[in-house]
Structure 1
Amino acid sequence: MSFADQADRTLATLALTPGWSRLQALRPDCDTVIVATMLDAAAGFAETVLAPLNPVGDRIGAQVVDGRVVLPPGFVDGFRQYAEAGWLGIDAPAALGGQDVPLTLQAACGPLFDRGCMALMMAAGATRGAIHLLAQRAEAAVAAEWVPKLVSGDWAATICISEPEAGSDIGRIRTKAELRDGRWLVSGQKIWISFGDHDLAGRIGHCLLARTNDQPGTRGLSLFLVPDHIEGAPNGVTLERIEEKLGLHASPTCAMRFRDAHAILLGEEGRGLSQLFAMIEPMRLHTGCQGLGLASAAADIAEDYAAQRRQGGRPDMAPPTIASHPDVIRQLHDIRSATEILRAAVLELATAMDLARFDADTGRADLAAWMLPLIKTFGAETGFDAAHAAIQVLGGAGYTSDYPLEQYLRDARVMAVYEGTTGMQALDFLTRRLWRDEGRGLAVFLRQARDEITAGSAARPDQARSVGAVLDSFETLSASMTAMQADADAALYRADSYMRAGWAAVSAWMAFRLGTDEAIAILAARHALHNARCAR
C-alpha cells in the first residue's frame, strides 16, 4: 500500500485536467510545486497519523459511557492533529481562520485522509460542511463566532435532517421550532446523525431542519444552528442511542432528542432546505472522495498481493506470480481503471466548482450541478466494487481480517445510502439536471468532452471515434428521456439506467483523457446496455 503513489497519481491527473490550468492561472499561489508539497504532506499525515487508527476504530468502535459517546483510543488526538495541521479549514475563508485554497486541493487531499481512516473523517466531513454553510448563510456575528472554532477543531458540527418517519422524505419532518420571547426553541427527534455526540471537541453545533409554520412539505422548513450547550449549560440536546452497524464502527451514528433547545436561525425562514445545500453539496463531493480513497487502497493491495503470491504454472518449475495469470491481469486492470477514472472525474468536478466561483463561469456551474449526482453515486459504488473485486484477487486471504479489504467493504456499503440514496440521485439527475435545467449541464459536458476528443483525435483516431459514438448515443438518449416528461412514471422507472448511461459517457471521456484505451470498449458496451434498458 502506498499513500505516496496515490499522491503522485493525483498530481499527474491534475496536470491532465484542462480546468486545472485555468484555475492555476487565476490562483498563482497554487503552482505545481506548492500543490505537490501539499499532497506529499497529506499522504504522510494520512499514513502515519490516520491509518494506524483505522483497525483500532473498527475493532473497538464508539461506545456510550455515562450518557456520552467515547471514541476509540487515539481518535481525539488524531482529530486534534488533523485540525492543528490546518486540514479542517483548508478551503475555508481566510477571514474566518481558513486557508482559502481552492476546493480542488481539498478534493485532491481528501481521498488520502479517507483512505487512512474514513470513520474519523466522517466527523471532519460534517464539520467542513458546516464551515461552508455558516460562512455563506449565517449572520456575520454568528459566522465570526463559530467558523474559526470549527476550523481550529475546538468545536465540531453535524447535519441533522432524518427523523423516524422522515428519512429521504424531508417534507414529512415533524421537528418544530417556535419563536418565544424573541428566541427560537427547537423540539423533536433526529436519527442517523453521524457524530451527533462525541468527545473530539468541546462543543457541537447541530445544523438542523425544523418546521416553523403550517405550510406543507418542505416549504415550512427552516434551517437552524443548535449548540449542544450554551455558556457551559446544557441546551436541551441529549443522546438517545448509537446504532450497531455493519461498518464504520468508530463513527457514532446517533439518535438525538431536542427539547426546547435554543436555536439560531440561519438564512431566511421557510427556505431551510435550499439553504442547507451549501452544506450538502460539499458533503456529496466528499462521498466521491471517500469512495476514491477506499478504491485506491484496494487497488494497491490487490496489485501488491498479486505481485507476490505464487501459484500455478508447470509442476516442474517454480510457480509464477498470479499477476502473470491472464484472468488476474483482467481483474487488476478493471480495478485500476475504475479507480483512476473516478480520480479524474472527481478532479474534473472539483475544478468546475472552483471555476464557477472564481471565474463567474455559469457554464461550469451547470456542469458541476450535472456531475454532482454522478460523482456521489459512482464514487460510492466504485469504492465498494473495488474492495469487492480486490477480495476476489486475494481469494480466501482477502476474506480474512489479515487484510483490511473486508473492513473497506463493510465501511463502503453505506456510502450509496447516506447523502441521498442512489435512487434519489437518479431522480435528481433526470428531473432536475435534465428536465428542470433544460439540459444546460448536459450541453456543457458534451461540448467540453467533444472539444477534448477532437483535440486528441489525430493521435488516437480509433479511440476518438469510439468515445464520440458514446457521446452521440448519450445525447440521443437524453433527447428521448426529455420527450418522456409527459409519461413521468415511465421515465422515472428508467432514471437509474439513464444515470448509469451518463456515468458510462463521463467515464469514456475520462478514459480518453487518461489514455486508458482498453477501458473505452468496455465503457461503450456498458453505455449500450444502459441505453437499451432505457428503451424498454
Structure 2
Amino acid sequence: MTGFDRQVEKTIELLGKTPGWRAVRAVHPDLDDSTVSAILSEAATFAATVLAPLHGVGDREGCELVDGRVRTPSGFADAYRRFCQAGWLGMDLPHAFGGQCLPQTLQAACAPLFERACVSLMMLAGSSRAAGFLLAQAADEDTAKEWVGKLIAGEWSATICISEPDAGSDVGRIRTRGVFKDGHWQISGVKSWISFGDHDITTRIGHCLLARTNDQPGTRGLSLFLVPDDFEGVRNRIAVDRIEEKMGLHGSPTCVLHFDNARAIMLGREGSGLPQLFTMIERMRLSTGCQGLGIACAACDVAHIYALERRQGGPADHQPVAIAAHPDVQRQLAVLDRQTEILRAAVLELAAAMDLATLSSDDADRAFHADFAAWLLPLVKNFGAEIGFDTASRAMQVLGGAGYTREWPVEQYLRDSRIMSIYEGTTGMQALDFLTRRLWRDEGRGLAAFETLARRDIEAATDQPSSSHATNAIENLLTMSKEMTRLSAEPEAAFYMADGYMRAAWSAVAAWLSLRLPANHGCDHHSHGEAVITGARPFTFAC
C-alpha cells in the first residue's frame, strides 16, 4: 500500500466519523460509500502518477522570467491541463458553468492528495477554483459565462491581487487606482506577492484585483475588478517587474505586477470590493489547511518508512535494530500521527459545515453551520499551516542528518510549508479576526455552535479520560472567552492576548476531535507529556 493509498484509507475512516458529512450525504444520496471510495482512489492515482513526479522537478528548475513572461518548470503545463480535464478543478463548482456540483467536503477530502503530490502547481489550481466561485457570484452574467467554464476546463486561470509594496494585510492603504475613462475601467498601480501572476500554462490569466475607485478612507473606497492579461485579443497593459527569490515553492512564480491603465471589468458593486472578495479568500484559507494536511501526511509517511529501514543501536553483540524500536522515536512518530489526524478531522469538519451552511433546508440550521464554519475557518487555516511545517520539522528530526539533505523530501516539505502561516492572512491576522469578528462582532455565536457540537460528542463518547480532557479544554476556552469579551473595552490588551486565545480555541477543537480517533492512536505512554501544535502551552493528551 502506497502513502497515497493510506491517506485515502484514513480519510474515508474519518469521513465516516464526521456527523456533518452524514448530513451532507443525505442531500447527495448518490454519494454512497463505494462512489466516495472510487473518487478518492482515483484522486490518489492521479496525484501519485501525474503530479508527484513534478514535486522535485519544480523545486530544482524553478521559474524564469524570459522576455517579460514567466516560464514554468517542465511538465507543469501538461499536468495542469490533465488535472482540469479530468474534472478535479471543477468538482464543487456549479453545473451551470460545467462543474460537477459535488459537496465541498468531497473536494476537501481529495485536495490534500493533490497538495501532497505537488503543492507548488496546486497554487494555480487553488486560486483559479476560488476565482471560479467569485466570478459565478459577483460577475455580470456575460463575464461569468465567458470565464468560469474556461477556468474549470484549464484553458484560462486566475489570481488574487490584493497586496502592494506598502499595503499587505493593511488593505485599507491600497493605492492602486481604478478610473472609469473612455467608456471602460482602467487600473493603474503595483501588486506584489501574486502567485502565478504570470505563466505559460494557460492561454489567458484573469487577475481578481482590489483597487481604489473613490476617496473614501480605508476599505470603503475599494472595488473589485477582473483584469485579464489580454483584452479582446490585445495584450493588456500589465508587466511583470520580477519574480521573487523564495525559500520554497520554487515551482510557483510569485510575481510583482505593474498595471498601467490596464483595461478591467468591475465585479459587483463599486465600493464593496473587500466583502465580495471574501468569497475567494474563504476558499483559499480552507485550501491552506488542505496544503498543510497534504504535507503533514507525506512527512509522516517518510518518517515511518525511514524509521523502519534505518538500523542503529541495540546490543553491541547483535545486529542493529530499526530505529522504530527505540522509545524516543516511537514517541516522535506518535506525535506526528496524532496531530496529522486531528488536522484531517478538522478539515473535513469545516468543509462539511460550509456545505451545510448552504445545503440545509432549515434556515436556523444553515445559520448555525454558517456561524460555526466562520469560527472554525481561521483555526484550520492557521493550524493547518503550522502543523504542516511542524510535522515536516519533526520528520526531519526522526531522519536525523539524512533529513537535512536533499536525498529525502522532508527538507523541501519544510521549505514549501513555511509560507503557509504567512499568506492568506498571517497568524497574527487570523488571531485578530478570530477575536474581533468571531467573538466580539458575532457575539460568540460560532463559539456557542462549537460548544453544542463538542458537548454532544462528549456525551456519546466511551473513552472517559479523553472525554474529561475535552470537557476541561472547552471549559478553559469558555473561561478565557469571558475574559476576552470583558477586554473588548480595552482592545490593545485584548489584541496582545489574541494569539493565546486562538491557541486555546485550537486546544479545545483538538481535544474534541481526538474523540474520533482510536483510543490508542498515536497516544501511548511514550508520547505522554509531548507538546504538539494544539494550544497556547504544552498540551498533554489523556491516554
| Bucket of the pairwise TM-score, normalised by the shorter protein | over 0.9
Give the counterpart of 1:418 among 418, 423, 426: 423
In 1, the alpha carbon distance for the partners of 2:472 and 2:341 equals 22
Displacement of 1:522: 5.5
Matched residue, 2:470: 467
Q: Which amino acid aligns with 1:472?
A: E
Displacement of 1:524: 10
Q: 1:326-375 deviations in whole A, cap 9, x for unaligned?
A: 00000000011000000000000000000001015110000000000000
Q: Which amino acid aligns with 2:445?
A: R
Q: 1:85-143 deviations in whole A, cap 9, x for unaligned?
A: 01111111011010110101110000000000000000000101100100111111111
Matched residue, 2:376: 371
- Within a 5 Å distance, the mapping from 1:169-208 to structure 2 comes to 169-208=170-209
In 1, the alpha carbon distance for the partners of 2:101 and 2:295 equals 27
Maintained 8 Å contact 1:467/1:524: no
In 2, the alpha carbon distance for the partners of 1:488 and 1:179 equals 40
Matched residue, 1:478: 481
In 2, the alpha carbon distance for the partners of 1:222 and 1:464 equals 48
Could you tell which deviates more after superposition, 522-531 or 333-342? 522-531
Q: 1:408-440 deviations in whole A, cap 9, x for unaligned?
A: 000000001100000000000111100110000
Q: 1:22-64 deviations in whole A, cap 9, x for unaligned?
A: 1111111222111111100110000000000010110010111
Displacement of 1:516: 4.5
In 2, the alpha carbon distance for the partners of 1:154 and 1:417 equals 30
In 1, the alpha carbon distance for the partners of 2:410 and 2:519 equals 25
Matched residue, 1:14: 15
Maintained 8 Å contact 1:90/1:99: yes
Matched residue, 2:394: 389
In 1, the alpha carbon distance for the partners of 2:535 and 2:413 equals 31
Maintained 8 Å contact 1:176/1:212: yes
Matched residue, 1:450: 455
In 1, the alpha carbon distance for the partners of 2:298 and 2:538 equals 32
Maintained 8 Å contact 1:466/1:521: no
Which structure shows the higher helix fraction? 1
Q: Which amino acid aligns with 1:268?
A: R
Displacement of 1:531: 11
- Is 1:109 the equivalent of 2:110? yes
Q: Secondary structure at the match of 2:465?
A: helix
TM-score, scaled to structure 1:
0.97
C-alpha RMSD of the superposition: 1.6
Matched residue, 2:515: 512
In 2, the alpha carbon distance for the partners of 1:528 and 1:285 equals 20
- Is 1:246 the equivalent of 2:247? yes
Maintained 8 Å contact 1:504/1:524: no
Maintained 8 Å contact 1:337/1:516: no
Displacement of 1:523: 8.9
- Is 1:93 the equivalent of 2:98? no
Q: Which amino acid aligns with 1:176?
A: R
Maintained 8 Å contact 1:507/1:523: no
Maintained 8 Å contact 1:466/1:524: no
Give the counterpart of 1:435 among 440, 460, 470: 440
Maintained 8 Å contact 1:501/1:531: no
Q: 1:448-503 deviations in whole A, cap 9, x for unaligned?
A: 000001011xx222221221111112111111111111111111100001001110
Q: Which amino acid aligns with 1:237?
A: I
- Within a 5 Å distance, the mapping from 1:153-302 to structure 2 comes to 153-302=154-303
Q: Which amino acid aligns with 2:317?
A: D
Q: Secondary structure at the match of 2:205?
A: strand
Flag structure 2 segments of 5+ consecutive residues without an equivalent: none
Matched residue, 1:34: 35
The 1:525–1:75 alpha-carbon spacing in structure 2 relative to 1, beyond 3 Å, is closer
Residue-pair matches, total: 530
Displacement of 1:525: 9.9
Q: Which amino acid aligns with 2:509?
A: V
- Is 1:341 the equivalent of 2:325? no
In 2, the alpha carbon distance for the partners of 1:315 and 1:511 equals 40
Maintained 8 Å contact 1:88/1:128: yes
Flag structure 1 segments of 5+ consecutive residues without an equivalent: none
Matched residue, 1:123: 124
Q: After the TM superposition, which segments of 4 or more aligned residues of structure 1 sit over 4 Å from their partners?
A: 519-532
Q: Secondary structure at the match of 1:290?
A: helix
